[in-house]
Amino acid sequence: MAFLAQALSRVKPSATIAVTQKARELKAAGRDVIGLGAGEPDFDTPDNVKNAAIEAIKRGETKYPPVSGIAPLREAIAAKFKRENNLGYKPAQTIVATGGKQILFNAFMATLDAGDEVVIPSPYWVSYPEMVLLCNGTPVFAETTQENGFKLSAEALDKAISPRTKWLVLNSPSNPSGAAYTEAELKALAEVLLKHPHVWVLTDDMYEHLTYGDFQFRTIAEVEPALYERTLTMNGVSKAYAMTGWRIGYAAGPIELIKAMDMIQGQQTSGACTIAQWASVEALNGPQDFIHKNKAIFQNRRDLVVGMLNQARGITCPSPEGAFYVYPSCQGLIGKTAPSGKVIADDAAFCAELLEAEGVAVVQGSAFGLGPNFRISYATSEALLEEACNRIQRFAGSLKD
C-alpha cells in the first residue's frame, strides 16, 4: 500500500516558485542572476498599514480571530465592493483567508465532487488546475490566442461547458498574460453563462487596481447582475497594497457558499493572522492615492519591457492591459541552436538556456498551459529590467539557424 495519497500523483509543483527558488540558489552560488519569475511588487507596504499593525499589537489584538475574519475587516470588504465595484454584499457574505490561494482552494473543496469540471482559460495561473485536481475535480482548458489578446471568447466558453461543469475561473487582469476584459467582453461571456444556469463563476480580481491607460476595470457580477447569485468574487491586499507576505485574501458571494467555506477553513487553518487583518482594515479604508503612483511606475516598466522585447530577434510581445506581467512569444526562435550546442526545442528549453547563458530567470509558457511563450514579471526596477532585456536581446541574437 502506497503511503502518499494518489491525489499527489495528479499534481505538479508550482513552476513560478521553482524558477524563483532556482534564481535564489544561483545567486547564492555567486552567479549574476536577474530573477523575473516572482509575481511580487517591489514596493514596500505603505507606512499607514504598517502602523495599523503595530497599533494592533500594542492593543493586544493577538488572540484567535473568528474563522471568517474580524468584523471590522469584513465590514471594510463589504464597503470596498460597494464603493469600487457597485456590488452589494453584507459582511456575512464575505470571508477572509490566508491569501487568495486559500479562498480558491476552499471554494473548490466546498463544491467539487469527483468528475465535476472547472473551465479554465489558458494561459492560466499555475495553481488553478492543480487546486482543482487536489479537490477531485477535472480542469477543462479553453485555449486563447495571442491574436485575440489572450482573452476567452464567448464561442470558446460555450464549447468548453458540459453538463458536468461547475465553475468558470475568470482572472482579469490575468496572471500570466496581463490581459484584462472590457465591459463588453464580460457581457458576451455573461450571455453564455446565462444559458447554462448550472455553471458558477469564480472571478479572481487580485490585480484589479493594476490596469493602465484609460482601461476601466469591471467584474462580471457588476456587469451582469443576474450572475450575482452564482458568482464568488475574490480579491486581496497582496498586489495593489504591496502586502504579499501579510497573506490576506478575501471574497464575497452567496451566503451558503461562504458558510461552507467557513466550515472547511475552521477545520483547516481557522482565522487568518489577526495582526495582518487589522493592517488590511487600514489598507482598504485608508488613503488610496499611492496606488495611482505605483500604477504609473508599473506602466512605465511595462512600456520599457514591451518595447525592448519587440526589438529582440524572433520575439513578439503584446502590450497587456494590466497586472505586472508580459507574455511574449519565442516562436521565432524555436528550432535554433544555442551557443552551448543545445537546440531550442520549445519554450522550456528557451528559458533554461537563457538562464544558463545570460542569468535571466523567466517562466516557460508551457507551465501556464500555452506556449511557446514565456512570462516576465516587471515588478522590479527599470535598471534591472533594461539590463535583463539587453541580455534577452543578446541571447536571441546569439542563436544559430
Confidence of residue 297 (pLDDT cuts 50, 70, 90): very high
Residue 400 lies in a domain: no
Q: What confidence score (pLDDT) does residue 164 get?
A: 98
Judge contact between 273 and 66, C-beta under 8 A. Answer: no
- CB-hemisphere CA count at 13 Å for 385? 24
Query: Are residues 295 and 276 part of one domain?
Result: no
Judge contact between 229 and 26, C-beta under 8 A. Answer: no
Query: Are residues 305 and 183 part of one domain?
Result: no
Percentage of the chain exceeding pLDDT 90: 91
Q: Can you give the residue range of the structural domain that contains 257?
A: 52-285
Judge contact between 184 and 223, C-beta under 8 A. Answer: no
Number of domain units in the chain: 2
Mean pLDDT of 84-98: 98
Residue 341 φ/ψ region, left for φ over 0, alpha for ψ in the -120 to 50 degree band, beta for the rest: left
For 338-367, b/e burial (b = at least 16 CB within 10 A) is beeeeebebbbbbbbbbbbbbbbbbbbbbb
Segment 113-143, tens digit of pLDDT: 999 999 999 999 999 999 999 999 999 999 9
Query: Are residues 267 and 298 part of one domain?
Result: no
Residue 339 lies in a domain: yes
Comparing 15-24, 39-48, 93-102, 355-364, the range with the smallest average pLDDT is: 15-24
In the predicted structure, residue 15 carries a pLDDT above the cut 80: no
Comparing 53-62, 229-238, 347-356, the range with the smallest average pLDDT is: 347-356
CA–CA distance, 255 with 78 (Å, rounded to integer): 13
Confidence of residue 6 (pLDDT cuts 50, 70, 90): confident
Residue 179 sits in a domain of what CATH number?
A: 3.40.640.10
Query: Are residues 32 and 75 part of one domain?
Result: no
Query: Are residues 268 and 167 part of one domain?
Result: yes
Calculate the CA 339 to chain-centre distance.
34
Mean pLDDT of 149-173: 98
Confidence of residue 300 (pLDDT cuts 50, 70, 90): very high
Q: Which residues pair with 201 in a beta bridge?
A: 168, 231
In the predicted structure, residue 196 carries a pLDDT above the cut 80: yes
Q: Is 136 exposed, middle or buried (0-12, 13-18, 19+ CB in 10 A)?
A: middle
Query: Are residues 124 and 27 part of one domain?
Result: no
Q: Which residues pair with 361 in a beta bridge?
A: 35
DSSP code of residue 15: H
DSSP per residue, 253-307: --HHHHHHHHHHHHHHT-SPPHHHHHHHHHHHHS--HHHHHHHHHHHHHHHHHHH
Mean pLDDT of 180-190: 98
Residue 401 lies in a domain: no
User: Which of 219, 100, 105, 230 has its CA nearest to residue 166?
Assistant: 230
Confidence of residue 9 (pLDDT cuts 50, 70, 90): confident
Q: What confidence score (pLDDT) does residue 33 get?
A: 92
Query: Are residues 271 and 174 part of one domain?
Result: yes
Query: Are residues 362 and 269 part of one domain?
Result: no
Domain end position, chosen among 253, 285, 317: 285
CA–CA distance, 307 with 285 (Å, rounded to integer): 37
Q: Which residues pair with 251 in a beta bridge?
A: 95, 234
Mean pLDDT of 190-201: 98
Query: Are residues 391 and 242 part of one domain?
Result: no
Judge contact between 243 and 280, C-beta under 8 A. Answer: yes
